[in-house]
Amino acid sequence: MPISRRELLRTSGSLGFAAMGLGCPASSLAASINTTIKPGRLSPGLTVGLVTPASNVPEDEDLLAAMDFVRSLGFKAKAAPNLRSRKAYLAGTDQQRADDLNSLFADPDVDAIFCVRGGYGSGRLLRDLDYDMIGSNPKIIMGYSDITAILNAIHLRTGLLTFHGPIAGDNFSDYTFEQYRRVLVDPTPTTLIGEPPVFDTRPGVVERKNRLTPIVSGSAEGHLIGGNLSLLVTLMGTPFEPNFEGAILFMEDVSEPPYSVDRMLTHLWLTGKLERVAGIVFGKFTDDDYDGNTLSMEQVLRERCEPLGIPTLRGVMIGHIDDKTVVPIGARARLDVDAGTLTLLEQAVQ
């Protein structure tokens, strides 16, 4: 009997993971393609676990501040066992950090997980996370920057929606709190996310910092994937590479000059992945260190994306910025470039 394409994907996925010693059963990969799991929404009195899966904050007092931050939102705070661990640029050993994340998912008293910081090191944990256990204990996990690797890997391997959003090491701006509330606390069947803050409408004043730039007109619908561009590139060619087929791909970065963003986007283009997405959303590329001998960031984005003919919008409030939205990885969304909107087509939490 001929093997179906779906069975071929399952078989090849299982063999690929087994060859790398990851022990991923075929059903786990199939779940990432066919099943979506939504965690429970946030409400006062729940317990939020705090974890540092990458780097740590400089001082223990910063960790205490993160716990106070969680309490300020109306939650109980629970520290991961190794929250205070440090090993140079890492928040403890790889095993300590993986154990912390696994333990918070397994802990029945923990309802959601907030990362305290990004930095570096999340990718080192991907082989040591217990995806079967995580998928059986769905709960919100939120972070950004280096946490991109963990968010996309968990969604890929379990189907659980994960959340690219603020960390517990920073305060929420009014804008961020409202976006957080829309997505995680009081969602509606369709939710607009990432629109720029309200412009100052006084005569003689125009918004200059938070502007939306259409790169390619049009609209598209698909599941959301993405996050920090540098981290997405490191996932390419690994068993944790996101599913680009028909996706709305969102990207941001910090301290990467235009040539570096050009290099990473070119890498994605050379893999053939950019042609497979339905739409592209660029957030903010901050601290990009322009000098006199450079293309502008807008030129880089246009040169790489305009030939694709895929709806592309720049300037959504995603990235290393104070006013940031919460993007649920795996949720279905609609991008309308001409209207300048990114709209969730489903609630991301139950």
Active site residue 61: no
C-alpha to C-alpha distances, 84 to 50, 63, 72, 165, 334, nearest whole angstrom: 11, 8, 21, 22, 40
Q: Kind and range of the H or E element at 244? A: none
Catalytic residue among 155, 164, 223, 320: 320
Q: Which position among 145, 155, 164, 256 bears the catalytic label?
A: 145
pLDDT digits (tens, 9 = 90+) for 97-130: 999 999 999 999 999 999 999 999 999 999 999 9
Q: What is the pLDDT of residues 281-312, one digit of tens each?
A: 999 999 887 777 899 999 999 999 999 999 99
Catalytic residue check, 145: yes
- DSSP alpha helix (H) spans, the chain: 5-19, 26-34, 60-72, 94-106, 131-136, 148-158, 174-180, 229-235, 258-270, 297-305
Parallel, antiparallel, or unpaired: how do β-strands 248-254 and 279-286 relate?
parallel
Which of the four pLDDT bands, split at 50, 70 and 90, describes residue 162? very high
pLDDT in tens, 274-289: 999 999 999 999 988 7
Half-sphere exposure of 110 (CA within 13 A, CB side): 27
pTM: 0.90
Strand order in the sheet with 279-286: 191-193, 341-344, 332-336, 219-228, 248-254, 279-286, 312-314, 213-216
| pLDDT at residue 32 greater than cutoff 80 | no
Q: What is the mean pLDDT of the chain?
A: 91
Average pLDDT of span 79-93: 98
Average pLDDT score over residue span 122-142: 98
* 252, pLDDT greater than 90: yes
Alpha-carbon torsion angle 285, 290, 295, 301, nearest 10: 0
Q: Which DSSP string do the residues of 206-233 spell out, in sequence order?
A: ---SS--EEEE--EEEEEEEEEEHHHHH
C-alpha to C-alpha distance for 277 and 116, rounded to whole angstroms: 31
Instruction: Kindly list the domain boundaries of the chain, sorted by start residue.
Output: 5-34, 47-171, 191-344
Given a cut of 60, is residue 87 above it in pLDDT?
Answer: yes
In sign, the C-alpha dihedral spanning 337, 145, 72, 171 is negative
Q: How many CB atoms lie within 10 A of CB 62?
A: 14
Contact 340, 308 (CB under 8 A): no
**160, pLDDT greater than 80:** yes
CATH class of domain segment(s) 47-171 = alpha beta
Q: Report DSSP state, residue 295.
A: -
Q: d(Cα 44, Cα 36) in Å, to the nearest integer?
A: 25
Catalytic residue among 122, 195, 252, 256: 252
- CATH pick for 191-344 out of 3.50.30.60, 3.40.50.10320, 1.10.3720.10, 3.10.20.30: 3.50.30.60
Q: Is 217 considered catalytic here?
A: no
pLDDT surpasses 60 at 26: no
What is the torsion angle, in degrees rounded to the nearest 10, for the CA atoms of residue 299, residue 304, residue 308 and residue 311?
A: -60
What does the chain come to in residues?
Answer: 350
Average pLDDT over residues 213-239: 98
Average pLDDT over residues 55-62: 97
254: left (phi over 0), alpha (psi -120 to 50) or beta: beta
